[in-house]
Every structure is written in C-alpha cells, then in structure tokens.
C-alpha cells in the first residue's frame, strides 16, 4: 500500500513567494493604471478649463465697443477706446448690457441711483460721451430725444501671481478674479484687418507651449 505524500516546507515557501510576487505585480500594475487615469482626468480637466477660458476671452473681445445703437468703433470721435493694450494687459470697454433709455437736457441731474458716482456712457446713434454720473453734478450731455445711458464697463485680462504665488490669468471688471493657473504668460496686440480691428492673443501654457487666439472686434 502506497503512503500519501504531504506538501513539504520548501514547496509551501515557494508557493508563498510566487503568490507574494504575483500580488506585488498586480499591485504595481493597478498603481500604474490609477496614476495614468488620474493624469488623464487632470489633462482632460485642464483642456476643458482652457477651452472655457479661451471661449470667454473671445466672447469679451467680440463684445468690446458695444453700444445699443452703433459700436464705439464706428463713431468718428469715440470718447474712449473700445480695445487697448497697455503693457501685458488687454483692456476692453463697452456699455453695460443693463442700460436704460432716457431723454434729458444739458444741466439736468441724474436721478437714477443705480448709476450714482459711476462712469457712464451716454450715447445715441451718432455720438457718445463718458462722464461720472452723480445726483449732485449736472449732466454735460444734451439728449432731448431718447438716448441710451449705461455704466461704462471696463474689463482687463492679464497675468499675475495669485495668493499661493503661482502665475495665473486674471480677469478684472468690478473686481479681479483668477480665471486659470494653466496660463503663465499673456501677450496681446491689435491688428487692423480691412478697416476693422482684430486682437491677437498669445497664451503661454504651463507646459511651455503657446496658443495663439485671433478674434475680430465688433464692427
């Protein structure tokens, strides 16, 4: 009668070693997949954020010079520049969309508290003026027929270090705010194209790559 042979200590140790080795390999593989997944999601989030910022930037550039009747760029003597580049800062000006229609004579005072002590644009289809609205100071514009009056909206895009010390693309209207940390440098210039204005913006990304964005300003 043949005696059954048990499992030896050496075989047990070899089995444990192989199981441990397999576990390490599986763990490393999982860690690599998790790292690649996190990197992929971070890359997707960065690209999505960048796309949103570029879309917003182009939208604001296209809106520069907005007046309800005619663009600032079409006036023979505009009171302010619709688009301006000062150093590394892009400045855009327009009338706020929260404008009102009004008729008044020179010397009247503005009774609407909404515009109190704020720069406003007063415009019809031929001309426009900018002044600081105040209930205490008389209006210098003369608009016996209906004109549009609205707050002068000034928007700025520029790069500055944020509270953590990292470079960030900033947007400032009523107050400055961080748009994204994915952009570390911002250059802009105005290019005349067929009698119109085009703004060329060169964005430097964290990777060192550059992205050029060209946008036509409203006619």
pLDDT per residue as tens digits for the range 100-157: 887 666 656 665 545 667 788 888 877 777 876 555 566 666 666 678 888 899 999 9
Q: Are strands 167-172 and 143-161 parallel, antiparallel or unpaired?
A: antiparallel
For the whole model, what pTM was predicted?
Answer: 0.76
Q: What are 131's strand-pairing partners? A: 120
What tens digit of pLDDT does each residue of 143-184 get?
666 788 888 999 999 999 988 889 999 999 989 999 999 999
Strands (E), the chain: 83-86, 89-95, 100-104, 118-123, 128-133, 143-161, 167-172, 176-180, 183-193, 196-205, 210-216
Do 80 and 135 touch, CB atoms closer than 8 A? no
Condensed to tens digits (0 to 9), the pLDDT of residues 44-72 reads 567 888 999 999 999 999 999 999 888 88
Please name the residues in contact with 102: beta carbons below 8 A apart, sequence gap of 6 or more. Answer: 143, 146, 147, 148, 149
Instruction: Determine whether 207 is exposed, middle or buried from the number of CB atoms within 10 Å of its CB (0-12, 13-18, 19+).
Output: exposed
- Which tokens belong to 161? 């270090």
Element (H, E) at 9: helix 9-63
167: exposed, middle or buried (Cβ count in 10 Å: 0-12, 13-18, 19+): middle
Torsion angle of alpha carbons 150, 152, 157, 158, nearest 10°? -160
């Amino acid at each position: 009668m043949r005696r059954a042979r048990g499992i030896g200590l050496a075989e047990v140790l070899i089995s444990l070693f192989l199981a441990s080795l397999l576990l390490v390999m599986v763990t490393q593989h999982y860690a690599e997949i998790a790292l690649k997944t996190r990197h992929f999601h971070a890359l997707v989030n960065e690209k999505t954020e960048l796309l949103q910022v570029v879309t917003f930037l182009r939208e604001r550039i296209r809106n520069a010079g907005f007046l309800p009747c005619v663009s600032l760029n079409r006036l023979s003597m505009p009171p302010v520049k619709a688009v301006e580049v000062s150093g590394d800062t892009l400045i855009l000006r327009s009338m706020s969309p929260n404008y009102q229609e009004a008729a008044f004579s020179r010397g009247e005072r503005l009774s609407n508290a909404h515009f109190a002590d704020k720069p406003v644009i007063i415009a019809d289809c031929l001309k426009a003026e900018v002044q600081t609205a105040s209930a205490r100071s008389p209006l210098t514009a003369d608009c016996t027929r209906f004109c549009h009056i609205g707050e002068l909206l000034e928007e700025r895009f520029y790069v500055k270090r944020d509270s953590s010390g990292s470079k960030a693309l900033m947007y400032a209207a009523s107050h400055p705010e961080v748009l994204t940390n994915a952009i570390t440098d911002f250059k802009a210039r105005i290019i005349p194209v067929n009698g119109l204005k085009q703004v060329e913006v060169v964005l430097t990304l964290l990777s060192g790559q550059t992205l050029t964005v060209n946008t036509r300003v409203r006619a």
